[in-house]
Structures are given as C-alpha cells and as structure tokens.
Amino acid sequence: MPPRTLYKKLVDSHTVAVLDEQHVLLYADLHIMNEYTSPQAFSSLRENNRKVLRPRQQLAVVSHIIPTHPVSVADRVIFDPPSALQASNLKRNCRDFGIKLFDTNHEEQGIEHIIAPEHGWIRPGMVVLCGDSHTTTYGALGALGFGVGTSEVEHILATQTLVYRLAQDMRITVDGKLPAGTSVKDLVLLIIARIGAQGARGYAVEFCGSTIAALSAEARMTLCNMAVEAGARAALIRPDQATFDYIREKAAGLSEPEFTQALADWEQLYSDQGAVFDIAHAFSASEVAPFVTWGTSPDQAMAVTASIPDPALAADAHAGATISQALQYMGLAAGGAMLGLPIDRVFIGSCTNGRIEDLRSAAAIVGGRHVAATVRAMVVPGSGEVRRQAEQEGLAQIFIDAGFEWRQPGCSMCLAMNDDVLAPGERCASTTNRNFEGRQGRDGRTHLMSPAMAAAAAISGCISDVRKMENRHA
C-alpha cells in the first residue's frame, strides 16, 4: 500500500462503500446532537417512519439555548418559550429513540464539544459527526470529526453513515516554543490571519511540528476547534503520549487489556513517511504574539501591538472595501492602535476556551486584581465538570473576588442564542471563535483573544498586552 496521510487512514478505515471518485459512504462511530440543528431531522425521520439505526452510538446535549444564570442546575428553567420547546422536543426525541441525553437540568450538562471528550466518548481513530461546525475539535485526540447539516443528521440517525465528499490533505507545521504570555489561541489566530478565512477550505488539516507536540490535549482542542474558521473540513493531530494519558484518564470504560490493545492500534495513527499532502504551510512559534481580532472575520486578526489596517494600503479596491466595512462596523479608525481600546464586556467560555486549562490561565492573570468598574465580565465554564473542578481548585473564588460573574455552563454568549447578548455598540473581549457581524448581538463588537488576554482586558478595562501585566508582578 502506498504511504497514506493520517486523514486517508481514518477515511479508509471508515469507508463502507465507494460511491464515486469523490464520495464515499463514511461510517460514524459516534454522532452527537444538540437542540437546534436536530429537530427537523427527527421530524423527517418520523414522517418517513424510519428508526434510529444505532441509538447507543448517539449522544445529545442541550447546550446552545441554555440560560447560564447562577442558579443551581437542578433549578434551571428555560423561560423563553421557543427555547423551552426546543429543549423538551430534544428530550422527547431522545426518550422515544433511546438516545443518551445531557438534559437542561443534568449536572454534567455542558457544551457538546467539551463534555464528549471529558466523558471519554472520543477516542483516537474514531469518526465523530455532529450538527455543529466546531466538531473539528476532536481531531485533537486523533479522531476525524467534522460538522454536518440537519439533512445529514437525519441521514446519520437512520443509517449511521454519511455520504461524504472527500477532502484534500493540508499539513500545517509549527516548530519552536511559544513565547511567554502567548497560548495556542494566539497561535491559531495567527495561522488563520496568515492563510485566510478560506485558506483551508476543502482540506483536512494535519497539525504537526514540535510546537504542536508540546501542547496539552486541551490546548490541541482549542487549535482544532478553530481550524474550521480557516474553512477546514477537519483538523487532525497525531495521537501521542499526551493523547493516550488524556484518554486513559477520561475513557475509564476501557479495561486494561483493551487499553493495551487499543494503544498498539492508536500508535499506528500517523501520516506515513512519504505520504503526499496537497499543500503544506509552516510557521515558527517564535512569530506568535498575543493576538486580537480587529474586524468581523476570524482572519482579521493581528498582534495586539500592531496598528489597525488601513484600507488605503490594501492590495486592491475590493480588499480595501472589505477592510473599510469591517472597521466601520467595529467602530475603529484605520492605522490606530488596539492597545488601550476601551471594552464594555468580557466573555470567557465557549467550546474554544471553556476548558479547565483556559480558566486556569485566565485566573492566573485575574488573581488579586479587580475587574475595571466600566466592565461587565462573565466566566461561563464549558461543562458541569469544568465548573466543579474550577471551584475545587479555587479558581471560581478568584473570579468572584475580582468581580466576575461565575455562571452555569453552556454556549452562552458565543452565539448568543440564550439571554447573554451584547447590546448594540457594546465592545466585548471574547474567548470565543467567531467575531462575525451580529454574532454576539446585533451591532455588538467582538474581539477574539485568548483567556489570559480577555482576563487582562477585564482588569484594565481596555485591550491590553497580557505580557505587560505579567511583568508588573514579576
């Protein structure tokens, strides 16, 4: 057999049938559902009198619409009638079809892409599908994960497979040590800024190099989670000791002999020597600085110390107009500084940065300081487990003492489907994945950044260079 990429190995091992040159019938080991991209799939299933083929390989979560007010989870009530209907509808669908559900009042409830790895549902070599674009997250554990639409959700429910258009292979190599005060979020924003919002469109991206190898399993999830913002169909990282240690801890369902056997298999999950990538990029970790977005697309990002782009200096008139429009929406002046820009809100959370490591890195900046009087700041843990752990470690108290709101888990203000919404004109330092126009609220202004940078913004009341804050206390 000719040398294959990791991506091709995963596709090959899950191909039920080759449909034509570009399409295969791809088997899903696991399918995850949420309350807002699955209802019409279940309805259609019922209308056609079809059943769910493999209920045990389904997992459902109420995560996008859920209020995050700090009442106990058992007492949590969704007051918005359409949202409450979505939640009860998912509950009914899961009950009728025998699907495991992390419901509104479940103490382990959280964001789908946080709770699935946390409960050991994601293992190297799996194919995992979900009606959510950030399903690319699972590549961090060597699983092929990607988002699908509702018609495809229906197809997977009925057949446990997907009619899948094959992607091309892209390799992104990053070598070197991330500079002090920077994190994987800064790295991924740099990558997206360099290759563009459609730079990886049509590709499955494999991240490799010494920088990636040095990342924790959770940091890798942040990286793979954001790959879709460069258009990637999937992201992958070769499973290694960090992956195996994470799985060992989380996937407690595997017996000792099973784990040993599994390891032998997982160690084969890499791109063969000589495997051909259709395109390759390389970056040096030394180029990474604390990054922020200045515009309305995740690729409109720059080092926090750089100047805001000037449309007059753009490559062509169309590019200039695109910059102008983003600056107008964001209320920013061409050529100005991002440093010192006053902010109104801080949001720490989401499937990108709502994990325990993210909260630790934010708390490290927050400790002993106080949120600026002009800022409303909230921390929304990614799951009940993350919340509990943060409380045990004393992180929650650090946030509370500093004046942060310590909330219940959910997607919350990442896409603002619940009542955590920016008011028009409000400017938010956000650890989320998308700064699209209106994403966090109509005419709201989102600046994407790392948890540490968001924490620094909360304390100083403006966009700040977290490296300076750390130095002050060094």
Partner 1 sequence: MHDKTYITGIAAPLLIDNLDTDQIMPKQFLRTITKEGLDRGVLFDLRFHPDGRPRPDFVLNRAEYAHANILVGAPNFGCGSSREHAVWGLQQLGIKAVIAPSFGEIFFSNALNNRLLLIVLEPDKIGLLLQDQAIDKHLAIDLEKMEIRCASHVFSFSLGGRHKKMIVEGLDMVGATLQLLPQIEAFEKRHYAAFPWGYVLPSA
Q: List residues forming the annotated binding site.
A: 351, 411, 414
- Please work out the total of residues on this chain that contact partner 1, with binding judged by CB under 8 A: 86
> Judged by CB under 8 A, does residue 50 bind partner 1?
yes
> Judged by CB under 8 A, does residue 374 bind partner 1?
no
Nearer to partner 1, 233 or 445 (CB): 233
Count how many Cα atoms sit within 13 Å of the Cα of residue 415 in the half-sphere of its side chain.
14
- Least Å from the CB of residue 314 to partner 1: 12
Per-position x/- string for 117-156, each x denoting binding to partner 1 as judged by CB under 8 A, each - no binding: --xxx-x-xx----xxx-------------xxxxxx-xx-
Pick from 242, 183, 190, 186: nearest CA to 216: 242
Q: Which of residues 311-340 bind partner 1 (CB under 8 A)?
A: 318, 322, 325
Q: Which of residues 20-39 bind partner 1 (CB under 8 A)?
A: 20, 22-23, 25, 27, 29-30, 36-37, 39
Cβ atoms < 10 Å from Cβ of 259 = 15
> Judged by CB under 8 A, does residue 9 bind partner 1?
no
Q: Which residues neighbour 35 within 8 Å (Cβ) at sequence distance 6 or greater?
A: 60, 61, 62, 63, 64, 65, 86, 87, 89, 90
> Judged by CB under 8 A, does residue 240 bind partner 1?
no
Q: What is the DSSP string of 212-278?
A: HHTS-HHHHHHHHHHHGGGTBSEEEE---HHHHHHHHHH-TTS-HHHHHHHHHHHTT-SPPTTPPPS
- Least Å from the CB of residue 369 to partner 1: 33
CA distance 335 to 288: 21
Q: Return the residue of 96, 265, 267, 278 that touches partner 1, per CB under 8 A.
A: 265
| Location of structure tokens 């909260």 | 359
Nearer to partner 1, 263 or 400 (CB): 263
Q: Which of residues 171-210 bind partner 1 (CB under 8 A)?
A: 197-198, 201-202
User: How is residue 173 written in tokens?
Assistant: 């190599």
**Annotated binding residues for [4Fe-4S] cluster:** 351, 411, 414
Nearer to partner 1, 251 or 288 (CB): 251
Nearer to partner 1, 278 or 443 (CB): 443
Q: Which of residues 397-456 bind partner 1 (CB under 8 A)?
A: 415-417, 424, 434, 436-439, 442-443
Per-position x/- string for 100-119, each x denoting binding to partner 1 as judged by CB under 8 A, each - no binding: x------------------x
Q: Return the residue of 63, 68, 109, 161 that touches partner 1, per CB under 8 A.
A: 161
Evaluate whether 127 touches 27 at the Cβ level (below 8 Å): yes
Nearer to partner 1, 35 or 465 (CB): 35
Q: Return the residue of 18, 71, 163, 313 that touches partner 1, per CB under 8 A.
A: 163
CA distance 416 to 430: 12
Q: Which of residues 60-99 bind partner 1 (CB under 8 A)?
A: 64-65, 80, 82-83, 85-86, 89
CA distance 183 to 8: 30
Q: Which stretch binds partner 1 (CB under 8 A): 56-64, 68-76, 236-244, 380-388?
A: 56-64
Evaluate whether 136 touches 235 at the Cβ level (below 8 Å): yes
Phi, psi of 147 (to 5 degrees): -85, 150
- DSSP-derived 3-state class of residue 283: strand
Q: Which stretch binds partner 1 (CB under 8 A): 15-23, 358-366, 377-385, 449-457?
A: 15-23
- DSSP-derived 3-state class of residue 353: helix
Question: Side chain identity at 238, as an amino acid letter?
Answer: R
